[in-house]
Chains A and B, each alone.
Chain A
């Protein structure tokens, strides 16, 4: 008897459910749907692979590939927060169901090794200079320490 007013109201109003998939609600903008990467901005540092709680991202710096297992990903967003160049984002709808398991590999341009080789040659004379400085530094460090002890 106490529930009758609610029953009558429900009979007279339109149904509370939506006719999905013919009518789809507008997505909320902060929803963590599906991970997408802008491979041109990626510098292949590997931070996302280190932070991932499921260990589903593999980054290969020399070949320039970024791979993510879409079935292991829990869309937590730790990789998005950790990326230094902000190349990872989320779409606001979730991934459509698939018929079989897929893999997802993105190919980008690896960081150029030419700069490294030139840097190595420049480093070699610089390294010798650094070795000399390193010998001087402990001598300098020992001197202030002795002064501190005296004080």
Chain B
């Protein structure tokens, strides 16, 4: 369903993103989803002249993920939102809100990590 997907790992992530920037792409957003037990899948979406390119990264939720906000300043807002939703740590985030961008300090349950499917009544 998605075209143009490139697989990356934690080590060559920042290098690939620098290549994208030098090529003239602009960062659109990241999407995250549950890849398996304790693993998070992140898709980086880029756009150049209406053509999209995606980078796919699968990472463990306990290890810190290298941040891209040194390359693209706009990434800091998305990475803070991912911190709120999944409780992961980004390494080298330029402006860190420490899980308080959307959530209140007293909220302890991680929103998207517990995928409980509740049946509707009836």
User: A residues touching B (Cβ–Cβ < 8 Å)?
Assistant: 46, 49-50, 55, 58
How many Å from the CB of B119 to the closest CB on chain A? 11
**Chain B positions 105 through 122: 1 when the CB is less than 8 Å from some CB of chain A, otherwise 0:** 000000000000000111
CA–CA, A49 and B122, complex, Å: 8
Q: How large is the interface on B (under 10, 10 to 19, 20 to 34, 35 or more residues)?
A: under 10
Of all chain B residues, which has the CB nearest A52?
B120
CA–CA, A58 and B121, complex, Å: 9
Of all chain A residues, which has the CB nearest B120?
A55
Where chain A touches its partner, the secondary structure class is: mixed
Question: Which residues of chain A come closer than 8 Å to B122, judged between CB atoms?
Answer: 46, 49-50, 55, 58
Kindly identify, within residues 81 to 122 of chain B, every residue whose CB is under 8 Å from any CB belonging to chain A. Answer: 120-122
Of all chain A residues, which has the CB nearest B122?
A49
Question: Which residues of chain B come closer than 8 Å to A58, judged between CB atoms?
Answer: 122
Question: Which residues of chain B come closer than 8 Å to A46, judged between CB atoms?
Answer: 122
How many Å from the CB of B63 to the closest CB on chain A? 39
CA–CA, A55 and B122, complex, Å: 9
CA–CA, A49 and B120, complex, Å: 10
CA–CA, A85 and B122, complex, Å: 21
Question: Which residues of chain B come closer than 8 Å to A49, judged between CB atoms?
Answer: 122
CA–CA, A55 and B118, complex, Å: 13
CA–CA, A46 and B122, complex, Å: 9
CA–CA, A103 and B121, complex, Å: 19
A sample of 7 cross-chain residue pairs with beta-carbon separation below 8 angstroms, ordered by A number, consists of A46-B122, A49-B122, A50-B122, A55-B120, A55-B121, A55-B122, A58-B122
Question: Which residues of chain A come closer than 8 Å to B121, judged between CB atoms?
Answer: 55
How many Å from the CB of A104 to the closest CB on chain B? 18
CA–CA, A55 and B121, complex, Å: 8
**Chain B positions 32 through 44: 1 when the CB is less than 8 Å from some CB of chain A, otherwise 0:** 0000000000000
The 3 closest A-B pairs by CB, nearest first: A49-B122, A55-B120, A55-B121
CA–CA, A50 and B119, complex, Å: 12
How many Å from the CB of A29 to the closest CB on chain B? 33
Of all chain A residues, which has the CB nearest B121?
A55
How many Å from the CB of B2 to the closest CB on chain A? 29
How many Å from the CB of A47 to the closest CB on chain B? 11
CA–CA, A55 and B120, complex, Å: 8
CA–CA, A50 and B122, complex, Å: 8
How many Å from the CB of B115 to the closest CB on chain A? 20
Of all chain B residues, which has the CB nearest A53?
B120
CA–CA, A58 and B122, complex, Å: 8
How many Å from the CB of A107 to the closest CB on chain B? 19
